[in-house]
Amino acid sequence: MKRHRILQYIFYTAMLFVIANSFCLVSRERMALALLIPPFVGICLFAGIWYPKAQSLRIRFCRHGAVLLHVWLFSLPAAAAYHIALAVHTLPDHYPTLLWSILYCVIAEAIVFWIGILCVYCTSFQLGLKTRVLGIVCALIPIANLLALIVILRTVRDEIDEEYRKEQRNLARKSEQVCKTRYPLLLVHGVFFRDYKQFNYWGRIPKELQANGASVFYGEHESAMPVADSAEVLAKRIKEIVHETGCEKVNIIAHSKGGLDCRYALSELGIAPYVASLTTVNTPHRGCVFADHYLAIVPEEVKRGVSLAYNTALRKLGDKHPDFLAAVTDLTYSACETRNKLLKDPEGVLCQSIGSVVNRPTSGKFPLSLSSTLIKPYDGINDGLVGEKSFAWGETYRLIQTGGVRGVSHADMIDLMRENHPEFDVREYFVELVHELKEKGL
């Protein structure tokens, strides 16, 4: 694949060089323009679309943009050398020819560049806001703009290669249907986010599971409600899925507060007969001590103001009964301690839990982990929001701890930012997790 990529770059660079520096030919023979326009349009529209034969249209366009930017970058020195030679040949008597040739070349090269950069900026998940801003800021600074472009191209190339490898792996095991569990999956989101309509809370995880045979449903509950109210919505949702599909039961994977909501539904709302398994991910089963502390010291007017602002915004996005303050209060250590005395572990349901620890809070793209340092004095090592001591629940408990600089944050565990984590492949982790459920006959 690497050899093919190099040959592709050489071929398209040579084509662009000939087309962009053909003014002298076109000025003498206008019919040459009719021969040059079709291959130029072909380069602009199709240069990176067909290889590698990616399934994802997003990756095809991302690769197309990367190819165009590489071709533009490689053709610049050749175009500069050509015009230096042209200057020697035409000056001083025919300088208009040189100026028109430069303008002709700049326009052709600019078209290729802007199509490439727009494709990359619009389709890449891994560039992130920082790299995009870097590219824009450095755009008009010589040398710095080329260095920024190299960073962009390296990031995009790694993303394309990773996505292509994943696609090939999924195609190779497609017949095995490694995630085709007996019962469908129900993904339950945590607090302050939603899993449908405007934003998919679970990132690229659902598509990865579906590509490997899983049947995926969502909780579709609101972003911020008390545990008991969310549990009622989820209980109704589970019965709807069972009734509509005839699946008898569901396998629940619940993140953060979603795990508390599901436990309440299983224990208090009689939903256990419809559930085969409950896997909680980074759920604060014993609450967050730091939440008790900060709720106690923040002035009441500030709490009411924040709550009002949040509730107002979420109503506009479709939530009918958002209650920011009640949702936060239900995550405190004291609230969880009281609730845990009430809740009973369901019989006949596989119950397991997963947690993770962040090592350096500033290493990820999303600020969910930045509070790790503030939380640590109260809850010990944590994922940026929940202390490690609060994760464990059920028959088995697994803690994800990497030896690298970054670790795995609360947001990393659900692929919230669609980021290729250097230490943790979250999509493959969930594939393996669901495969284990399949192996257990669930």
pLDDT digits (tens, 9 = 90+) for 343-365: 998 989 999 999 999 888 766 66
pLDDT grade, residue 220 (50/70/90)? confident
Q: Which pLDDT score, from 0 to 100, does residue 437 have? A: 96
Question: Quick one: tokens of 113?
Answer: 């560049």
Average pLDDT of the residues of the chain: 88
The pLDDT value given to residue 349? 94
Burial (CB < 10 A; 0-12, 13-18, 19+), residue 439, is exposed
Stretch among 112-126, 195-209, 237-251, 276-290 having the lowest mean pLDDT: 195-209
Q: How far is CA 80 from CA 29, 132, 133, 405, 417, in A?
A: 23, 27, 28, 43, 41
Integer CA distances (angstroms), 208 to 2, 56, 163, 339, 436, in order: 26, 12, 11, 35, 16
Provide the pLDDT confidence category of residue 367 given band limits of 50, 70 and 90.
low
Q: What residue type is 386 in one-letter code?
A: V
Tokens encoding 224: 């911020």
Predicted local distance difference test score (pLDDT) of residue 52: 64
Q: How many CB atoms lie within 10 A of CB 266?
A: 27
Interval 28-54: pLDDT, tens: 888 888 888 999 999 999 888 876 666
> What is the structure's pLDDT at 136?
87
Q: What percent of the chain has pLDDT over 90?
A: 48
Q: What is the reported pLDDT for 404? A: 79
For 153-172, write each residue's pLDDT tens digit.
999 999 998 988 998 899 99
Peptide bond into 92 cis (omega under 30): yes
| Domains, the chain, with CATH or none | 2-169 (no CATH), 178-439 (3.40.50.1820)
94-122 pLDDT per residue, tens: 778 888 989 999 999 999 999 999 999 99
Q: Is the per-residue pLDDT at 197 higher than 60?
A: no
pLDDT higher at 86 or 267? 267
Vertex 176 angle, CA 175 and 178, to 5°: 135
Residues sharing a CB contact under 8 Å with residue 326, sequence separation 6 or more, in sequence order: 224, 225, 226
User: Is residue 133 scored above 90 in pLDDT?
Assistant: no
Going 127 to 129 to 130 to 133, the CA torsion angle's sign is positive
Confidence class for position 366, pLDDT limits 50, 70, 90? low
pTM, full prediction:
0.87
**Contact yes or no for 339/227 (Cβ under 8 A):** yes
Cis omega (within 30 of 0) on the bond before 77? no
Interval 318-327 mean pLDDT: 82
258-265 mean pLDDT: 94
Residue 1: what pLDDT?
57
Determine the average pLDDT of the residues in 65-91.
89
